[in-house]
Structure 1
Amino acid sequence: MATKKTSKKASSLPSKSKFTAQEAAEWILESSDEESDLESFLSQDEEDFLEGVDPDLEISPDADPDWAPEEGTQAAFEEGEEEVLEEGEEEEQASTATQPPPKPKRKVNKGRGRGRGRGRGRGRGRGRGRGRGRGRGRGRGRGRGRNQSEEPEQSTEPWQGTDVEDITPEQPVFKPARVPGPQILSGVQYSVLQLFLLFISNATLQTIVKNSNLYGEKNHPSTWQKITLQDLYSYIAMVVYMGLVKAKQIRDYWSRSELYSFSFPPSVISGKKFTAISCTLHLSSPDDDAANERKRGRSGYNRLCKIQPLYDAIRAACKANFHPRQNIAVDERMVKSKARIALRQYMKDKPTKWGYKLFVLADSSNGYTWDFFVYEGKGMSISKGLSYDSVMQLVDTRVLGQGYKLFVDNFYTSPALFKDLLAKKVWACGTIREQRLGYPSRRPGGLTNRSPRGTICWIREGPLVFVQWKDTRDVRFCSTIHPAHSNHFVQRKVKEADGQWAEKSIPAPPGISDYNKNMGGVDLSDAMIGYYNILHKSRKWHRSFFYHFLDIAIVNAFILHRELAMEKEETPLTQKEFREALVSELKAAGSRSTAPPPSPPPSPAPPGASHRLRHFTQDTTAGRRRCVHCSMKTTSECSSCKVALCCLVSRDCYNDWHTLNNL
């Protein structure tokens, strides 16, 4: 008699035609556990990344390196259908005599391989984190996904010391796709505004004007007044000015109070128009936003829809106007924001803890932002791990060329990445984590707590060299560029036996100096942006990106200005002077301000004139003027000075103002 096949999935319906209420309850619980555990798996990988861990490229530090199936054990499951059998688990008995006898129980070691296991046990599986008994669990058993047995087999060769010579690896032949440096017309005298418009062109600004007008007419039909390109010039001039001259609140720039009295902002744009543009600034078409919103939760939904036009334009402009030199760096950047959106990330170890995460490729020599992309969260398509994919997406050899030297930190460095980069003729160097897959952490002969300062241990595996160096702490890095050691020394202050500090030369790997010199390309760009950061708080996330894109454009334009000045052997402007010139040129290209001109200083009363208070209107509400001292509305003035002044118990501006002006 033919036997019925039972499904391997824990959530499948039992083969019995009748089952008890207890069995039904267990089956329902089993199905619900499967759903919740899948959700836990998705959130756990996201939490790992926010802690600076790439789940696809790192292993658990407490994993058992010696895990292996016992002899005679054969995994008879296809990929995606593996099982985790726990100690003490009993197979369910066949419900009828026609069912085949149960298979013998397989015993699995307690080693905790990294993987997502399908556990059929009733208890908590030996899971990494959230493995539940019945249903899909994230387990330390022989689960679906990576475990320790998937690591590349490592030889038993121990770590070497400096007494063993290392080979000098093949050095890159630099073949850039274009001549490195500015990619603009030589011999042309560019103004500051022209350099800025290379990155955010008039066509891009016209798109912003068009979309902002559509958004304003849609949401404020009765009060919205259309803006022009000249209005947007004036608005950007004021935004850049705010990065140079700080005030506590935006309205303080247009305050008539004696404590502020800024004369420049009212000459650029009125406070009312500035606020109106800030509230309706829109980078994308409202119709495109509505169409994209209907796709939310389905394929085709674009999280970056509201910034896409400017996002695409400035990325293309950054790559078009400059070509990097040989040394480049990839690192993260945080754009400060607390807007409630899925793009926002929390990085507890970063100076900017809340904000949007960008992956950036920069020229190490000057900090030029050559390319970047926004991290969209766990919805991003990832094939070999976020750190691997981020670098491969930014390092496009079709546009860059070959022979580049890439410097990355320990979030990105992995043997797999460096080998694949070398296959594309890109050499790399970076610090590496001990838990990274492929790192020979279990070889004998490495650094110990008793190793003296300056000790170097190394292992070479083909084009890769792994180096451990004892400084104030253990430093680990990997390189395809450098030999493990050479006659290279660094200066360090060392405490002598008598308690005195002395400067000594200690041996150091040659890759350390290159890494310290060239890894800071993105940090240099961040620093230049931070000096005169124009970003201010906004409830709308796309406006935060607009302000940051302005900063990228200004800093890159400033770097171009400096490069051109050095070619002509001229003294370049400082960044402060560059921004000041940009504000002046934007103001000149903008629309004439509708703000009232600042009040001229009062002329002194003629000699012998008597000062007395009088009311210029009998109506207590209509016809009032603003007091020149406190800016509050009043009905009184000085008959000789012809200026409105309050004269109340709570504020005696009449006497205060005359005393202040020696009248």
Structure 2
Amino acid sequence: MASSPLEDLDIFQLIHDSESECCTDNSESGVEESESEIDFDEDPSSSSATWGPPHQHGRRHVNNYSGGAVGLNTNEAPHVNKDSTPFCIFMLYFAGIIHLLVEETNRYYHQHVDRRQDGPSPRPDVTESEMFLFLGIIIQMGHDIRGRLKDYWSTLEQFATPFYSKTMKRDRFLHILRFLHFADNNTETDRNANSYDRLWKIRTIFDTLNDAHEKYYNPYEHLAIDKIIVKYKWRVVFRQYIPKKHKCFRIKIFKICDAAGYTYDMKVYLGKDRTCADQDVTETHATVRGLCRRIEGLGHKQYMDNFFSSPDLFDELMTKNITCCGTVRPNWKGLPDDFRRRQFQLKKGDIRVRVRQNLTALVWKDKRDVYILTNMHSPPAEGSFCDEHGNAMKPAIVANYNKHMGYLDKADRMANSYSICR
């Protein structure tokens, strides 16, 4: 059987912006660069002047959690119960997406197919049943990694797996793969417009899936925000090149996950964009604000690392009944002056604490200085805390942070079988 030029193509290559150029900026990301735009605040009358010792200012904010019972939202899925199959859950999230895939794939075929290259007569339209089978094969491929697509349909003894040929013929699979589409190409807007969406080809499906994440699931009280890096070798303008990283070419995705590893919301980083920020709000601040929009007023506890944490962000989220804890960069605007100037001469096990209303900033010396910002914990005691062996004793705030920041690692492990191409 003759091989197809599509056999070694990644699916995501078929939907990427073919006219876009690879990002050649050697910086880690425009988002991180935006953080450096916040100047060091030398004004003694700034908010950093209001920080003081914990015995003078500290008090803990107690938020009331009202997010509902964790797990499936039975109000939105009353027909799902303990006897339901995994396919029933799958249909909650993907029924509308399957319909859209079929519609746009058939549209693209009829708009652009060259009949002379595709055979003597038109192929039949893809049906929803076929699209389910197609996606089933894609999912199985994630558990059965092979070098080439044609190997899945090989009759050679070392490759033969009847599942693939019984589910769908290879030529039909490659036909669907060739014309798989997620949007009408005629709806593309001007690339030079400020409002141009670099993710427009999959925007509808991406937003539909995010909406389903919220609609059908109530997350745990504790959530974590972080960025994940997805290996990606094809050409899109928002791909980033990091020569010092193992995954040199990559796409950055911001995610919010709960203790079960459930992705509650996500956002693809599409390049530096100041439309969502202003002089007082960085892009990372605006990113967290957007990811938290679905949990406002519910009393969730949010954890993040120093890529996101800032006093202004924590203060804003508290007004929306969201308390936060995270590592923080000591030179951030709004932090205590002695933190930002790194004036402490700490020994191993030492803790220094400053508070401002509900906000607590602490630095703890272990192998290096660890800076934490929180408004969900009571201020710890200052002093030097080591065990009988001279090892630094970890503050409860640091232990709590470490416990809850692993949520995205769990989500990554569960998704690790599938590259972005699949």
Give the alignment's TM-score, normalised by structure 1: 0.53
Identity of matched residues, %: 23
Do structure 1's residue 179 and structure 2's residue 179 form an aligned pair?
no
Contact 2:349 2:386 in 1 (8 A): no
Q: Residue 103 of structure 2 corresponds to which residue in structure 1? A: 210
What's the offset of the Cα at 1:237? 1.2
Matches of 1:461 and 1:287, distance apart in 2: 54
Task: Please tell me whether the aligned partners of residues 181 and 322 of structure 1 are also in contact (alpha carbons under 8 angstroms).
Answer: yes
The residue aligned with 1:297 is: 192
**Aligned in 2, Cα 1:332/1:427: closer, same or farther, shift over 3 Å?**
same
CA offsets per residue over residues 31-82 of structure 1, 9 Å max, x none?
Answer: xxxxxxxxxxxx999947458443366446xxxxxxxxxxxxxxxxxxxxxx
1:227 maps to which of 123, 126, 131: 126
In the alignment, is residue 195 of structure 1 matched against residue 94 of structure 2? no
Aligned to 1:392: 289
Deviates more, 1:307-316 or 1:254-263: 254-263
Return the letter of the residue paired with 1:183: N
Structure 2 Cα separation of the partners of residues 247 and 173 of structure 1: 50
Report the TM-score when normalising by structure 2.
Answer: 0.81
Q: Quick one: which amino acid aligns to residue 66 of structure 2?
A: K
Match of 1:285 in 2: 184
**What does residue 227 of structure 2 align with?**
332
Q: Residue by residue, what CA displacement relative to the aligned partner does 1:353-411 show, whole Å, maximum 9, x if unpaired? A: 42222211111x211111112222124523211111011111126x5533211101001
1:518 aligned to which of 370, 387, 404: 404
Structure 1 distance, partners of 2:201, 2:243, is: 27
Please list the CA deviations of residues 172-220 of structure 1 after superposition, one character each: whole Å capped at 9, or x if unmatched.
22122x433211336452111111111111x321221121112122222
* Mapped partners of 2:70, 2:219: distance in 1: 5
Moved more, 232-241 or 349-358: 349-358
- Is the CA contact 1:216–1:280 (under 8 Å) kept in the aligned structure 2? yes
Pick from 347, 360, 370: which aligns with 1:452? Answer: 347
C-alpha distance in structure 2 between counterparts of 1:213 and 1:490, whole Å: 67
Contact 2:229 2:250 in 1 (8 A): yes
- Preserved contact between residue 309 and residue 326 of structure 2 (Cα < 8 Å): yes
Residues 108-507 of structure 1: pairs in structure 2 closer than 5 A: 148-149=42-43, 152=46, 154-155=48-49, 167-176=58-67, 178-184=68-74, 185=78, 187-201=81-95, 203-222=96-115, 223=118, 224-225=122-123, 226-289=125-188, 292=189, 295-347=190-242, 352-363=247-258, 365-379=259-273, 381-383=275-277, 384-396=281-293, 399-442=295-338, 446-448=343-345, 451-485=346-380, 506-507=392-393
Q: Partners in 1 of 2:81 and 2:87 — Cα distance?
A: 17
Structure 1: how far apart are the matches of 2:133 and 2:342?
Answer: 66
**Aligned letter for 2:186?**
D
In 2, the alpha carbon distance for the partners of 1:414 and 1:394 equals 16
Q: Which whole-Å CA distance do the structure 2 matches of 1:53 and 1:468 have between them?
A: 25
Rounded to whole Å, the distance in 2 between the matches of 1:220 and 1:270 is 20
Q: Could you say what secondary structure the match of 2:156 adopts?
A: coil
**Which of 23, 28, 35 does residue 55 from structure 1 map onto?**
35
Contact 1:56-1:385 at 8 Å conserved across structures: no
Deviation at 1:442, TM superposition (A): 3.4
Residue 475 of structure 1: CA displacement? Answer: 0.4
Contact 1:366 1:521 in 2 (8 A): yes
How far apart, CA to CA, are the structure 1 residues paired with 2:126 and 2:209? Answer: 23
* Superposed counterparts of 1:34-113, under 5 Å: 47=27, 49-50=29-30, 52-55=32-35, 58-59=38-39
Give the Cα separation in 1 of the matches to 2:51 and 2:227. Answer: 35
Q: Which 5+ residue runs of structure 2 have no aligned equivalent? A: 1-22
Deviation at residue 440 of structure 1 after TM alignment: 2.2
SS at match of 2:187: helix
Report the Cα offset of residue 318 of structure 1. Answer: 0.6
List per-residue Cα deviations over 1:230-257 (Å, max 9, x = no partner). Answer: 2111111111111111111111111223
Deviation at 1:329, TM superposition (A): 1.0
**Residues 379 and 455 of structure 1: CA distance in aligned 2, closer, same or farther (over 3 Å):** closer
Hey, what's the Cα distance between the residues in 2 that align with 1:230 and 1:258?
30
Q: Which amino acid aligns with 1:521?
A: Y
Task: State the structure with more CA Rg.
Answer: 1
CA pair 427-453 structure 1, distance change in 2 beyond 3 A: same
**Residues 190 and 199 (structure 1 numbering): CA distance in 2 closer, same or farther, change over 3 Å?**
same
C-alpha contact 1:175 1:402 (8 A) present in aligned 2: yes
The 3-state SS of whatever aligns with 1:199 is helix
Question: Which whole-Å deviations, capped at 9, do the CAs of 1:515-556 have from their partners, x for residues lacking one?
Answer: 1011122221111111x22x26xxxxxxx4xx4xxxxxxxxx
**What is the rounded CA distance, in whole Å, between the counterparts of 2:384 and 2:156 in structure 1?**
61
| In 1, Cα distance between equivalents of 2:89 and 2:357 | 46
> Is 2:257–2:264's contact at 8 Å kept on the other side of the alignment?
yes
Bigger relative CO (Cα 8 Å, ≥ 6 apart): 2
- Hey, what's the Cα distance between the residues in 2 that align with 1:456 and 1:271? 64
The 1:525–1:268 alpha-carbon spacing in structure 2 relative to 1, beyond 3 Å, is same
Aligned 8 A contact 2:26 2:241 in 1: no
Task: Give distance in 2, aligned partners of 1:210 and 1:153.
Answer: 55
User: Hey, what's the Cα distance between the residues in 1 that align with 2:240 and 2:158?
Assistant: 39
Q: In structure 2, what residue type is equivalent to 1:509?
A: P
Distance 1:362 1:180 in 2: 13
> How many residues matched?
386
Say what the alpha-carbon RMSD is for the aligned residues. 3.2
Alpha-carbon distance, 1:470 to partner: 0.7
Cα–Cα, structure 1 residues 44 and 306, in superposed 2: closer, same or farther, change >3 Å? Answer: closer
Alpha carbons of 1:491 and 1:521: their partners in 2 closer, same or farther (altered >3 Å)?
Answer: farther
Query: In the TM superposition, what whole-angstrom CA distance separates every residue of 1:263-316 from its partner, at most 9, and x where no partner exists?
Result: 221111122122221121101123224xx2xx1212443322210221121011
Residue type matched to 2:303 in 1? F
CA deviation after TM superposition for structure 1 residue 486, in Å: 5.2
